Amino acid sequence: MTERSLLNQLIDALRCLPGVGPKSAQRIAFHLLERNREGGARLAQIMADAMLRIQRCRRCRTLSEHELCGICANPRRDAGLLCVVEQPSEIVAIEQATDFRGLYFVLGGRLSPLDGIGPDELGLDVLESRLHDEPVSELILAISPTVEGSATAHYIADSAARHGVRVTRIAHGVPLGGELEYVDGGTLALAFSGRRAL
Amino acid sequence: MTERSLLNQLIDALRCLPGVGPKSAQRIAFHLLERNREGGARLAQIMADAMLRIQRCRRCRTLSEHELCGICANPRRDAGLLCVVEQPSEIVAIEQATDFRGLYFVLGGRLSPLDGIGPDELGLDVLESRLHDEPVSELILAISPTVEGSATAHYIADSAARHGVRVTRIAHGVPLGGELEYVDGGTLALAFSGRRAL
């Protein structure tokens, strides 16, 4: 075998999928070639299309092939509620689990000056102009309560305060059905400091 | 969202990969879109090409984009040794682990009349004509020792006997480093019945 075979090229290329090592890549390649060529061909076509055409929504920065994503383009969503998340995948989770009908804003990360991630990288200028231009009455922060996440939340809260927008933060604590003894210490401490009167 | 977004189409299409459910599909889609578009685009292109162009080698029936696979086309391989395997992936394993320098033949399954898999489906007519036309001196069966595998092996052995070709079978038994107590009963029984003098 002088040149690399197409099969080996496919096995190598499959390793760009997260969590796929050499053995899994081989298994996937043989599975597609022997049992599901149609699915593989369809996936290849959609993947090529998606890598090329999906960009960020101009308004909320989530992933979309349109200039405005489906949620931002929907006039029935409540523009008074704006939920700030770190990643586009979190929008999917919130949409599936809650009855939130407001709009979103995707940071794409947390403030981390040492890694070169400042307010501009998170699109906080875009968020600020939304607070200025849109009738936002409540800004809901769904940002993880890490050190960097808290710094990001405070930065955004300051900016919202300047625009007179009320800022809330989703509750962090022990999850439903979570056994206290298996919950990590940080979460348990948060649950205690965030206790509420019954 | 009236029409299905391209992102959702991608997540759906990714579920054709073996072992990928809705959550993993979503994780893979976001990973590729946010961190490795180049890899995703490359994978899409190679996958489309592979699904279209990879066929079976005319001589050994393994997967290859050429009429003859790299091993069959290599004049330095020993045409006197022919190893029969069930799946193309087994050739990869044998090539990696052993110093076997002969040729292969891929059955693609085992004889199973109830499922409609007879000698023709396994290409046993192709194998027979190879035994007739090529200078095969030893036929090595690397077929799993199940009921159907054994029936297949016997069928092939009979055919080889008619052509005066010596037939061997790879050893089945306790694997290297295998703890006797954890080896399945069938393997242990095989290891006992196949014991050899020291």
Task: Please name the helix (run of DSSP H) or strand (run of DSSP E) that holds residue A105, with its range, or none.
Answer: strand A102-106
Q: Which residues of A touch B34 (CB under 8 A)?
A: 63, 87-88, 108
> How many angstroms separate the most distant Cα atoms in chain B?
74
- Contact status, residue A28 vs residue B28, Cβ threshold 8 Å: no
Task: Please tell me whether residue A54 adopts helix, strand or coil conformation.
Answer: coil
Closest CA to B106 of B54, B150, B134, B142: B142
Chain A residues 85-144 within an 8 A CB cutoff of chain B: 87-89, 92, 108
Q: Which residues of A touch B53 (CB under 8 A)?
A: 6
The distance from CA A44 to its chain's CA centroid, rounded to whole angstroms, is 24
Structure-derived torsion over alpha carbons of residues A71, A73, A76, A82, reported in degrees to the nearest 10: 50
Q: Which residues of A touch B18 (CB under 8 A)?
A: 27-28, 31
- Tell me how far apart the alpha carbons of residues B19 and B67 are, in angstroms, rounded to a whole number: 31
Chain segment A11-66, per-residue pLDDT in tens: 999 999 999 999 999 999 999 999 999 999 999 999 999 999 999 999 999 999 99
Spell out the per-residue pLDDT of chain B, length 198, in tens.
446 899 999 999 999 999 999 999 999 999 999 999 999 999 999 999 999 999 999 999 999 999 999 999 999 999 999 999 999 999 999 998 999 999 999 999 999 999 999 999 999 999 999 999 999 999 999 998 889 999 999 999 999 999 999 999 998 888 888 788 888 888 888 888 888 887
Structure-derived torsion over alpha carbons of residues B70, B73, B76, B78, reported in degrees to the nearest 10: 100
- Tell me how far apart the alpha carbons of residues A121 and A104 are, in angstroms, rounded to a whole number: 17
Domains along chain B?
6-53 (1.10.8.420), 76-169 (3.40.1360.10)
